Structure 1
Amino acid sequence: MTDSSRIEISGSGLRCADVVRVARRSAWTELAPEAVTGAAASYELAVELGAKRAVYGRTTGVGANRHTVVDPESADHHGLRLLRSHAGGTGEPLADEVVRAVMAVRLNQLAAGGSGVHPRLLRALETALRVGALPLVHSRGAIGTGDLTALAEVALTLAGELPWAAGDLDPLPISPGDALAFISSNAATLAEAVLAWHDLRRLLSASHVVTALTFCALGGSAEAYSARVHAARPHPGAVFCAAELRRLLLEGDEVVEGRRLQDPFGLRAFPQVQGPALDAAASVERVLDIDINAAAENPLIDVETQQAYHHGQFSTAHVALAFDHLRAALHHVAELSTARLGDLVEPDLSGLPPFLAQGPAGSSGIMILEYVAHDALGTLRHASSPVTLGTAVISRGLEDHASFSTHAVRSTVAATAAYRTVLACELLAAVRALRLSGVALPDTPLREAFRLAEGTLPYLAEDHPLSAEISLAERLLDRLAVL
């Protein structure tokens, strides 16, 4: 779906949701006039400083070559040489939506006015996004200290040295100081991070709906979600989760008594487990909101003080650690989903036949869903291992730390896909249990969720292959998330 609205790019105030709109709905980006003016001032200052003193990457080489002074007679070609040498990415090309997100993030960072690139680079990115011109960007080559290979490929494409993957623009001159200033960013990692955060946050929203359906199928007790209970230990995520369950389960303030004095942990402790994941997702969003609006290029060309500052803002430890935390929290959430699935197939808890089976004695019903869910949970468990326990020492020992934030983000993508399968298995079981029991659902958005599920998921009483239904349930989760 195309989004015809426009998102102003000023170097500040860009939200993660805006990047998603550009990436997936082709919303327009429009540079704020003051951003272009600021970029021009930064560019002029960078040229002036480079004529007076050593400025890393402009008058010198990079990495361990930082003390090597560029020959003034070949300075005009220094930038292109730098881009060519760094455009060594490999692996599968990034998806179109990721490339659009990369360009949007990098454009906004450049609009913050600390890079010193020529303003025409900003205009070129703005135009490329508007007309649908996309560079070919490879996925492999980043370790969390700057997406050098990916951004070098973008820059060389703008310069006309690499072919466009879609559309095209007229070749753009690259000024001597533009090269490092353009690639000194983690825009590609941040682009993938924003999309990964968005997809996982949406699944966490769907978790409330699926858990509420399971709650009704099992005749749970809503005491565990009482506002009084959560006011006594007010962790924000848990408070929000409990409120969402009350919204889905209760027609008024009255709490309907459940079948049991205390439910299994999958229902009773859901806010306490889901809450940390919601808090972790909120923490990720705060980190990303800062970084997609950051003038983090090294060196920082600061117009206010008329100085160039050399620094370590290329490090993305905040991003890597935030995503490691998020995946660990997600694993706990997924474990509870598999626990609830086990409850749904247990007659002592559901009051229904074992495995929700119908037909001749010995029918297996949905028994296989537990295998599928635990397979996906195993994948999620491996993907949840922290990437921040490793590092790298490169460039002749000068660059002696790496966050591997790119890998933290991609592990999150894998974990999210696995959790989608886990949650889909629970959804299938909850809907089948509700169909078998005929339990009346409260007149809340949960009733609409069940209607949507009934209209999407086929009902076959006898044993049959469930693969197609799992796929349908996986796709349905995004629709349930908005309820």
Structure 2
Amino acid sequence: MELDGAGLTCAQVHEVAYGGARVTITSLDRARASWATARELKGPVYGQTTGVGANRDITLEAPGLDLLRSHACGAGPPIEPARARAMLVVRLNQLLAGGSGINPAVLPVLADAINHGFTPPIQTYGAIGTGDLTALATTALCLLDELPWHHEDPQRRRKGPRAEAVPRYPLASTDALPFISSGAATLADAAIAIHRLHHLLEAAIDVAAMSFTAVDASAEPLAAAVQEARPHPGQAAVAARLRGLLTQEPPTRIQDPYGYRAFAQVHGAATDTLDRARRTIETDLNSATENPLISGSLAWHNGNFHSAPVALALDALRAALVQTAQLSTARLATLMDPAYTGRHAFLADRPGASGAMILEYVAQDALADLRHLANPVTTGTAVISRGTEDHAGFATQAARHALRCLEPLEIVLACEHAAATRALHAPVPDHPLTTDLNESRRTLHRTQRSDPPSR
């Protein structure tokens, strides 16, 4: 995978993190240009000749290494190596975009770390959406050989004897703030979530098609004329795809419940929201979020590190996931009803048996978690560093919650899939329902690991 600071996508971040893709650097020109400018700067430069935060007005000599050692202080459980590897590729790509002023010689070392399975021991807690300072400071200390790298063969996904040289680079004081001035870990989590949610939302259309067929739901709401009357892109695309999966039969009922009749509108809104979030994340994957930004012949002190656009996009996305999951549980309820399926209640093999009744409990439990995870992070803020940093975006938490949404959304859809499968095929007496549900989960989980879609 070629990195140039301009074309990195969420799908590619996922492929490096979980697919073992190797990276190559196509050009260091922009990084070299900003480094050359940084070496010629005169006067005070934040974090280079001064302290940081409330210490911004205090002149210091070579403050960088102290900054790294003081900020490498995360807490909580370690994140999985794949997420740390995703952070490395995001930060490498951002540094290739130029503007940091860091010595470009460190960038091939980061590429080697990615390719040879080295990741920093990052802990879960330590960022509020104004830069992943603890994660990147920890990475910097690994480069300085002050902290040990975690090593895992990215091709074989196993720990083992290390044949490759440990990535080391003698970061200078002037490299410190340029290295950590980024939300790369947050963006990495967001990119992984975006990629997997794309596949889950696509799979949800296939699952809905099974339910449509199982209850003889009308395809009339999916008609092109209906979509043209209200031309939201996601709605039209979802309706067209679902139309292609259904056999056009005369409608059984004049109007079906909203889980069917409004599926294109609700699910289409979710896919539109996902697409907006993807564009937001991919903008930042390829942006110079540096403070200060080294551009032209100057150091521009700025707020590009702030994560408000990312946090807002992810808040909207998590809310949209709840809506699409709610419609899935609504369809699941109809699959339990003989009036819709023509089968015994709860898809049982005989009258009075419980059948698949428990699937509703499982789905509603998972949906409750989704609702909790959808609470917006952007309604809160934080004031720190003696009041000089007086707002926070909390995109870190928004991205973390987006990752946590994957499991409950998968479970909700798996419950519908299992029920629709039973509704479409006569149930086997005494067949363990857990087998159906687990197989449905495996089917949906495979969609999250599939090859990135072409665009």
Fold equivalence (TM over 0.5): yes
- In the alignment, residue 56 of structure 2 is paired with which amino acid? R
Q: Which residue of 2 aligns with 1:42?
A: 34
Q: Which residue of 2 aligns with 1:319?
A: 310
Q: Which residue of 2 aligns with 1:476?
A: 443
Q: Which residue of 1 aligns with 2:354?
A: 364
- In the alignment, residue 348 of structure 2 is paired with which amino acid? A
Deviation at 1:58, TM superposition (A): 0.4
Deviation at 1:266, TM superposition (A): 0.7
Q: Which residue of 2 aligns with 1:428?
A: 418
Deviation at 1:393, TM superposition (A): 0.3
Deviation at 1:170, TM superposition (A): 4.6
Aligned 1:234-273 pairs, distance under 5 A: 234-250=231-247, 255-273=248-266
Deviation at 1:468, TM superposition (A): 4.4
Taking structure 1 as the reference length, what is the TM-score of the superposition? 0.88
Question: Which stretches in structure 1 are left out of the alignment for 5+ residues?
Answer: 1-6, 437-458
What does the per-residue CA deviation read over 1:230-262, in whole Å, with 9 as the maximum and x for residues that have no partner?
A: 011010110010011012114xxxx32121111
Q: Is the 8 A contact 1:39 1:119 kept in 2?
A: yes
Q: Which residue of 1 aligns with 2:9?
A: 15
What does the per-residue CA deviation read over 1:70-113, in whole Å, with 9 as the maximum and x for residues that have no partner?
A: 13xxx2xx321110000001111111111111010000000011
Q: Does 1:97 align with 2:82?
A: yes
Q: Of 315, 329, 341, which residue of structure 1 is paired with 2:320?
A: 329
Q: Which residue of 2 aligns with 1:164?
A: 149
Q: Which residue of 2 aligns with 1:349?
A: 340
Q: Is the 8 A contact 2:47 2:177 kept in 1?
A: yes
- In the alignment, residue 199 of structure 2 is paired with which amino acid? R
Deviation at 1:41, TM superposition (A): 2.2
- In the alignment, residue 47 of structure 1 is paired with which amino acid? R
Deviation at 1:414, TM superposition (A): 2.1
Q: Is the 8 A contact 2:311 2:398 kept in 1?
A: yes
Q: Of 219, 222, 238, which residue of structure 2 is paired with 1:222?
A: 219
Deviation at 1:211, TM superposition (A): 0.2
Q: Does 1:409 align with 2:399?
A: yes
Deviation at 1:479, TM superposition (A): 4.3
Taking structure 2 as the reference length, what is the TM-score of the superposition? 0.94
What does the per-residue CA deviation read over 1:13-51, in whole Å, with 9 as the maximum and x for residues that have no partner?
A: 111111111111111111113xx13212211211210xx
Deviates more, 1:412-421 or 1:283-292: 412-421
d(CA) in 2 for partners of 1:259 and 1:461? 29
Q: Is the 8 A contact 1:10 1:111 kept in 2?
A: yes
Q: Is the 8 A contact 2:329 2:360 kept in 1?
A: yes
Q: Does 1:189 align with 2:186?
A: yes
Q: Does 1:339 align with 2:330?
A: yes
Q: Does 1:398 align with 2:399?
A: no
d(CA) in 2 for partners of 1:480 and 1:109? 29
Cα RMSD after superposing both structures: 1.5
What does the per-residue CA deviation read over 1:192-240, in whole Å, with 9 as the maximum and x for residues that have no partner?
A: 0000111111110010000000000001111111111101101011001
What does the per-residue CA deviation read over 1:407-429, in whole Å, with 9 as the maximum and x for residues that have no partner?
A: 11111222221111111000000
- In the alignment, residue 187 of structure 1 is paired with which amino acid? A
Deviates more, 1:108-117 or 1:38-47: 38-47
Q: Which residue of 2 aligns with 1:461?
A: 429
Deviation at 1:130, TM superposition (A): 1.6
d(CA) in 1 for partners of 2:198 and 2:173? 42
Deviation at 1:328, TM superposition (A): 0.8
d(CA) in 1 for partners of 2:254 and 2:352? 32
Deviation at 1:461, TM superposition (A): 2.4
d(CA) in 2 for partners of 1:109 and 1:196? 19
What does the per-residue CA deviation read over 1:300-350, in whole Å, with 9 as the maximum and x for residues that have no partner?
A: 001xx2111000111101110101101111111111000000000101111
d(CA) in 2 for partners of 1:8 and 1:413? 26
Q: Is the 8 A contact 2:34 2:102 kept in 1?
A: yes
- In the alignment, residue 331 of structure 1 is paired with which amino acid? V
Q: Is the 8 A contact 1:206 1:478 kept in 2?
A: no
Identity of aligned residues (%): 50
d(CA) in 1 for partners of 2:205 and 2:237? 10
Q: Of 88, 91, 100, which residue of structure 2 is paired with 1:106?
A: 91
Alignment length (residue pairs): 438
- In the alignment, residue 361 of structure 2 is paired with which amino acid? Y
Q: Name the SS of the counterpart of 1:319 in structure 2.
A: helix
Q: Is the 8 A contact 2:410 2:445 kept in 1?
A: no
Q: Is the 8 A contact 2:382 2:390 kept in 1?
A: yes
